[in-house]
Amino acid sequence: MLNILVCLDSNYINPLKVMLYSLFSNNENSNFDIYLMHSKIPQDKLNSLNDYIVNNWPNNSFYPIKVSSDDFKNAPVVSYYSEEMYYRLFAHKYLPKNMERILYLDPDILVINEINDLYNVDFGNNLFAACHHNKIFIKGINKIRLLQYQIEEYYNSGVLMMNLTEQRKRIEEKVIYDFIEKNKAILILPDQDILNSLYSKDIKDVDEILYNYDTRFYTYYKFLSKGKVDMDYIFDNTVILHFCGKKKPWKKPYSGEFYSLYKHYQKQVQKLENK
Amino acid sequence: MLNILVCLDSNYINPLKVMLYSLFSNNENSNFDIYLMHSKIPQDKLNSLNDYIVNNWPNNSFYPIKVSSDDFKNAPVVSYYSEEMYYRLFAHKYLPKNMERILYLDPDILVINEINDLYNVDFGNNLFAACHHNKIFIKGINKIRLLQYQIEEYYNSGVLMMNLTEQRKRIEEKVIYDFIEKNKAILILPDQDILNSLYSKDIKDVDEILYNYDTRFYTYYKFLSKGKVDMDYIFDNTVILHFCGKKKPWKKPYSGEFYSLYKHYQKQVQKLENK
């Protein structure tokens, strides 16, 4: 049984269904417990999500976790920053006490191969396993912006293997709140900035080509790898395609190498729902 | 039960499997009889194709039809022209006598929606139903080249609904052979040229966007339709994606809007074969 965590609001339920479809259909030998942390998704939508999961994949289970806004009443507010973005960092507080590991996934993802190797990663003493997006320009910008925190790599927070046992011991709410309060002005992607500024030395680095392939950079990855990372390589090896950036394949306008693939999965979800 | 015809040699068995996977998986409410006309595919490959079809889709059947080279010994030869290209035009001679209609499909195709409407097309008195590729430059070139035959539209021969009852009455071998003999020098895509030159007035026109979408022209179709024929429209409406042209998605180099989708289907076939 593999644990998956998602944290989102009602706007992302449809992309979530597509992500889960891809996860389940490409991991037919695994069963999943899906944990959804949310603050205000209405009960009827949770019920319908539960039906979607357990009716179509009866070996999987769905556990919504409602987070009370009171829990975050002391959290500093940044205007463009939804409360749900915090949740992944505090998930260890809300998940079952005996759970040792869980894979956090953003909803703008397709899982196209088996996730077992990622799931069973050897954390060592690290709190997380994640991928840094090794693009020189991104690294440059973020190193300057968050210079004082001596970031080695800028990790993407959309795919996070979580070492819950260690997190319960070592992640402190107050440290995170203080960080936000102090850096409000320069935070762009708050959860990601927090992850990188406070925990980058506690992150085990895993290969972005395999586990957090940024779909905007097909040409870039192919060029940097001298042609190795082409479409064949991706379908044989890449596990997680991440539709990073503002433009999303479920919203027009969109274009890109993986648009037709995304639409294919979206269509499969529609078919299940119209059954 | 729907009849499907393919005509090919051993080089196209893998693309054929991908095409069939897409056909079957997107037409789960239909059963298929697959007829393969060939001249020299070895028996072990035919057996393995049979296994692929009947083991994975037990309601479907596979009927290989070996065409003797003697049957075509009087056919004029054009060097770049494989014998198998002829077969679709003579299929009515080889298929069961009581069969009334069959859908011929090229192997460089993905079927992404239900084919029933195409299959049940009202032929009227026509021999075929097919799509013309309405691109001004293609039409221009071909009208000049085959001017004497007064072609109205240039139909693509990769997707052909066949009115076998009428074909048995009205298609004559000798007329086709004479045509080839006379036009050897200007034939580029022989089967298609024959279809257009001899039978274009006996073809019922069906919509290329739905039934013979040329994957090279995503931008062109979208532009001409003022944005209507976008990726959403295609997945909701288009039945047949046709990977026309020299570059094929199973051979490198390839690029294009439907490459990732093709690779997805190719991967599904691999998975079935590794089971």
What is the CATH number for A254? 3.90.550.10
CA distance linking residue B35 with residue B62, whole number of Å: 6
Intra-chain end-to-end CA distance of chain B, in Å: 27
Tell me chain A's radius of gyration from C-alpha atoms.
18
Q: Roughly what angle, to the nearest 10 degrees, separates helices B173-183 and B83-94? A: 160
A214 with A133: CB under 8 angstroms?
A: yes
CA distance linking residue A51 with residue B135, whole number of Å: 47
Instruction: Please determine, for residue B252, whether its predicted confidence score (pLDDT) is greater than 60.
Output: yes
Residue B90 backbone dihedrals phi, psi, to 5 degrees: -110, 5
Span B118-147, average pLDDT:
78
Q: What are the chain A neighbours of B226 within 8 Å (beta carbons)?
A: none
> Which two structure tokens, joined as six digits, stand for A19?
């992500």
Identify the H or E element spanning A136: helix A136-145
Q: What is the mean pLDDT of chain B?
A: 91
Rounded-to-5 percentages of helix, strand, coil across chain A: 50, 20, 35
CA distance linking residue A10 with residue B135, whole number of Å: 44
Residues of chain A with pLDDT below 70 are: 76-81, 134-153, 188
Helical H runs in chain B? 13-25, 43-56, 83-94, 116-119, 136-145, 164-170, 173-183, 190-199, 208-211, 218-224, 231-237, 259-274
What ipTM, to 2 d.p.? 0.91
Cβ contact, residue pair B264, A264, below 8 Å: yes
Window 173-232 of A: residues touching B by CB (8 A cutoff) are: 230-232
At B141 the pLDDT is 58
At A71 the pLDDT is 81
Residue B23 backbone dihedrals phi, psi, to 5 degrees: -60, -50
At A152 the pLDDT is 54
At B133 the pLDDT is 80
Q: What angle do CA B88, B92, B95 make, to 5 degrees?
A: 100
At A268 the pLDDT is 98
A62 with A31: CB under 8 angstroms?
A: no
Cβ contact, residue pair A260, B230, below 8 Å: no
Span B133-137, average pLDDT:
63
Q: Which residue has the tokens 């009581």?
A: B98
Q: How many domains does chain A have?
A: 1
Task: Measure Cα distances from B26 to B66, B116, B265 in Å.
Answer: 29, 11, 11
- Nearest chain A residue to B237 by CA distance is A267
CA distance A10 to chain B (A): 22
Cβ contact, residue pair B260, A230, below 8 Å: no
Q: What are the chain A neighbours of B254 within 8 Å (beta carbons)?
A: 231
Any B CB within 8 A of A115 CB: no
Sheet holding A109-111, edge to edge: A109-111, A240-242, A213-214
Span B71-97, average pLDDT:
82
Best B260, B264, B269, B271 residue to mutate vs chain A (most A CBs within 10 Å)? B260
| Model pLDDT for residues B146-172, shown as the tens digit of each residue | 555 555 568 999 999 999 999 999 999
* Structural domain span for residue B188: 2-274
- Nearest chain B residue to A254 by CA distance is B231
For chain A, the residue count is: 275
At A185 the pLDDT is 74
Q: Which of the 8 DSSP states describes residue A247?
A: -
Cβ contact, residue pair A263, B230, below 8 Å: no
- Say which range, B114-123, B128-137, B201-210, B262-271, has the weakest mean pLDDT: B128-137
For the stretch B226-230, contacts whose Cβ atoms lie closer than 8 Å and that sit 24 or more positions apart, written own/partner, are: B230/A252
Pairing, β A155-163 against β A101-105 = antiparallel
Cβ contact, residue pair A257, B260, below 8 Å: yes
Share of chain B above pLDDT 70, in %: 89
- Tell me: cis bond preceding A64? Omega within 30 of 0 counts: no
